Amino acid sequence: MNPSVFAGLFYKAYVRRDVDAALRLIDRIGRAVIRNFRSPWPQQDWWHDEAFNAYLGRFGELEGHNMERRWMVYQLGRLARDVPGDTAECGVFHGAGSYLMCAGNRGTNKTHHAFDSFEGLSTPGPDDGSFWSKGDMAAALDGVMRALAEFDSVKYHRGWIPERFPDVESLKFSFVHVDVDLEQPTRDSIEFFYPRLSEGALFVCDDYGFSTCPGATRTIDQFLEDKAEKMIALSAGGGFFLKGRSVAPAGPGGTFR
Ligand SMILES: C[S@@+](CC[C@H](N)C(=O)[O-])C[C@H]1O[C@@H](n2cnc3c(N)ncnc32)[C@H](O)[C@@H]1O
């Protein structure tokens, strides 16, 4: 970047508190490092939702890049509250996603089912790219139990996906969140839960559309190829479908066409 342009933008942004200059400066720096980098509008009310910020703080997520997806999962989960069935998360880590789902279940008779090895990721397959390694994202079960202690109806299913799915084979589900980063457990999860989703149920995959999770994105698209439902790819990453709701097709990973 031209140093005098940089200095001008920095002066306007930092000294004059000019929001537009600040965003242009951030975008220029971002694009110098990350292709097509783009910053969000800063006038978003949800940034200042104190109760939501307290939730993020509880899981150490007031910094980092998960907060927008957390907000969307919270909002999407509201679609599923009156749909019959339990909720489930495949890939729990420290419990931040399950916390949102349990909070959404308050005042209902739903049970939340948490599936995880609690030993981190399984071995990546040939189509999972090079970002992940076996054992990444390991979190201890007792820490998750402490994080979710305020909720009465949580069941933990410890083991490698899909070993513990038979525990819930006779149940129906209103909201399933799949977040295991890799192709095979994502495939196992959608194959198991799809027929158990009630009409109108919400299926979210946190990893959909991330270049770090190519196998998860591809296997979901492949699974839905002969179904009416297709993934809606979210702007902050991740995607969802509603069971029984057909949507217009898009390119692979929800790409524009
Ligand atoms: C990205 S983290 C999940 C994050 C969590 N959903 C959240 O909202 O914070 C991925 C989780 O998937 C689990 N996992 C990955 N592969 C698995 C497998 N094959 N079987 C069981 N758990 C697995 C890991 O142990 C890890 O906790």
Ordered per-residue pLDDT tens for the chain, 257 residues: 688 888 888 888 888 898 999 999 999 999 999 999 999 888 999 999 999 999 999 999 999 999 999 999 999 999 999 999 999 999 999 999 999 999 999 999 999 999 999 999 999 999 999 999 999 999 999 999 999 999 999 999 999 999 999 999 999 999 999 999 999 999 999 999 999 999 999 999 999 999 999 999 999 999 999 999 999 999 999 999 999 999 999 999 999 98
Give, using CA atoms, the residue closest to atom 24 of ligand 1: 120
Tally of domains within the chain? 2
Strand-pairing partners, residue 178, are 90, 205
Q: How remote is the CA of residue 93 from the centroid of ligand 1, in Å?
A: 5
Give the residues surrounding ligand 1 with Cβ less than 6 Å away.
Answer: 89, 91-94, 96-97, 116-117, 120-122, 137-139, 160-161, 179-182, 185
- Predicted TM-score of the model (pTM): 0.95
Cα distance between the two ends of the chain = 33
* Residue 39 located in a structural domain: no
Is residue 177 classed as helix, strand or coil in its secondary structure?
Answer: strand
Q: Which atom of ligand 1 lies closest to the CA of 185?
A: 19
Q: Return the structure tokens found at 168.
A: 């819930």
Instruction: Give the range of the structural domain holding residue 94, as residue numbers without chain letter.
Output: 45-254
* Residue 250 located in a structural domain: yes
- How many CB atoms sit inside 10 A of residue 40's CB? 11
* Residue 38 located in a structural domain: no
Question: What is the distance between the alpha carbons of residues 179 and 9, in angstroms, rounded to a whole number?
Answer: 40
Q: How remote is the CA of residue 104 from the centroid of ligand 1, in Å?
A: 21
Question: What is the distance between the alpha carbons of residues 141 and 95, in angstroms, rounded to a whole number?
Answer: 9
Sheet order of strands, 197-205 included: 154-158, 112-116, 86-90, 173-178, 197-205, 239-242, 232-233
Q: Which atom of ligand 1 lies closest to the CA of 73?
A: 8
Q: Return the structure tokens found at 67.
A: 């907060």
Question: What is the distance between the alpha carbons of residues 47 and 35, in angstroms, rounded to a whole number?
Answer: 26
| 234 and 173 share one domain | yes
